[in-house]
């Protein structure tokens, strides 16, 4: 099993969700986060006070899929979330030791 963690532009969330749904991924967790990679932040001015804002709003999607599906999901996500500009985000992939369905104690891939 692989855990796929994608940090993407908030306005690309709907596209990404739609694309994942189309390839049959139906479980995911979404968090509103802030961060930055190479993208520079921006400056906000309130009554002459300048504030440098370098942590920008992003959305983090997390899902765990079988090893066989991982590559397809990653490619789908990357394509759906891409605008081609700095700030599009990143995808990280982790190995997952186990999974448990809390409702009935299913383990491993059966719990996905």
Q: Binding segment for another protein among 40-48, 60-68, 77-85, 100-108 (CB under 8 A)?
A: 40-48
Which residue of 26, 38, 47, 105 would you call a contact of another protein, by CB under 8 A? 47
Which residue of 1, 33, 38, 49 would you call a contact of another protein, by CB under 8 A? 49
44 touches another protein (CB under 8 A): yes
- Residue 107 pairs in a beta bridge with 100
Smallest distance, Å, CB 55 to another protein? 10
Answer whether 61's CB lies under 8 Å from 29's CB.
Answer: yes
Tell me how far apart the alpha carbons of residues 103 and 4 are, in angstroms, rounded to a whole number: 23
51 touches another protein (CB under 8 A): yes
30 touches another protein (CB under 8 A): no
Tell me how far apart the alpha carbons of residues 74 and 76 are, in angstroms, rounded to a whole number: 5
* Cα maximum dimension of the chain: 58
The smaller minimum CB distance to another protein, of residues 32 and 72, is found at: 32
Q: H helices within 1-112, ranges in order?
A: 13-22, 67-81
Which residue of 26, 38, 46, 104 would you call a contact of another protein, by CB under 8 A? 46
Write out the H or E segment, with its range, that includes residue 95. strand 89-95
Binding site for another protein (CB under 8 A): 44-49, 51, 53
């Amino acid at each position: 099993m692989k855990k796929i963690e994608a940090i993407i532009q908030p306005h690309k969330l709907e596209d990404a969700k739609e694309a994942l749904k189309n390839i049959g991924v139906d479980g995911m967790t979404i968090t509103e986060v802030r961060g930055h990679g190479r993208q520079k932040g921006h400056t906000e001015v309130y009554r002459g006070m300048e504030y440098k804002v370098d942590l920008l709003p992003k959305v983090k999607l997390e899902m765990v899929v079988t090893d066989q599906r991982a590559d397809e999901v990653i490619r789908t996500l990357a394509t759906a979330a891409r605008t081609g500009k700095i700030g599009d985000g990143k995808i990280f992939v982790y190995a997952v030791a186990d999974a448990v369905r809390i409702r009935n104690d299913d383990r491993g891939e059966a719990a996905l």
